[in-house]
Amino acid sequence: MITSTVTIGTSISTSKVQPQQVLSRSFTVLATTGTNLPCEYWSYNFTASVGQYVYGNFTSDNPVGFFVVQQPTYVNWLKAGTCGNPGDAIASQLITTSYGFAPTAIPSSGTWTIVIINSSNSKNAEGYVTAYLSTVGYTLTQPLMTTTTTMIPTFAGQSPSIPGFPIGSIIIGIIAGLFGILLLRRRNRR
């Protein structure tokens, strides 16, 4: 007896990479009262790589500036005593009490800083900020197979082949024919 096994069929499934939460916390940015500074800062550092996206949102009880910048840029702002520059940031919003920033590509790997700036000389700014890192979703093709085993009886001294056709071709032809008949029957039942 000759045994032949044929596997047919595939399926596509889509998988999305789960986002990584970078930050979820409240913040307080002091007012500039009693200082000679044009603004006060609140910051949070995180590490990100090229190919990742940063996104999130914040709310504040007092208008503030919001930026996502490379950490060295933020350090330069502190040294220069400036209150941020939207041109240096990959995400920014000036003078607002809420901001939801869409996924923004990280252009270079390294340390990045979320900066919230209060320019009020009379009121602290308090609020809540959430940020995530993720990569683009991907599609993965996974096999979903059906296996059919066919057994063909042979008799002593006889070959189950047809002259000019290899045994494998005959078996595949029989299986394909049976599969076609099954599909036609299913179609006719509908």
All structural domains of the chain: 2-13+143-189 (no CATH), 17-136 (2.60.120.380)
Residue range 171-182, pLDDT digits in tens: 777 877 777 787
3-state SS class at 36: coil
Q: If DSSP codes are grouped into helix, strand and coil, which group holds residue 174?
A: helix
Contact 15, 137 (CB under 8 A): yes
The CA-CA-CA angle for residues 10, 13, 19, to 5°, reads: 160
Ranges of beta strands (E only) in the chain are 2-8, 11-15, 20-29, 40-48, 52-70, 91-105, 110-118, 125-135, 138-142, 146-152
Q: Is the pLDDT of residue 87 over 80?
A: yes
What letter represents residue 66's amino acid? F
- SS3 label, residue 84: coil
Q: How far apart are CA 127 and CA 87, in angstroms?
A: 25
Going by pLDDT thresholds of 50, 70 and 90, the confidence category of residue 140 is very low
pLDDT(88) > 80 = yes
Contact 16, 137 (CB under 8 A): yes
Residue-wise pLDDT tens digits, 58-75: 999 999 999 999 999 999
The residue length of the chain stands at 190
| d(C-alpha 85, C-alpha 20), whole Å | 27
> pLDDT tens, 25-44?
999 999 998 888 899 999 99
Mean pLDDT of the chain: 81
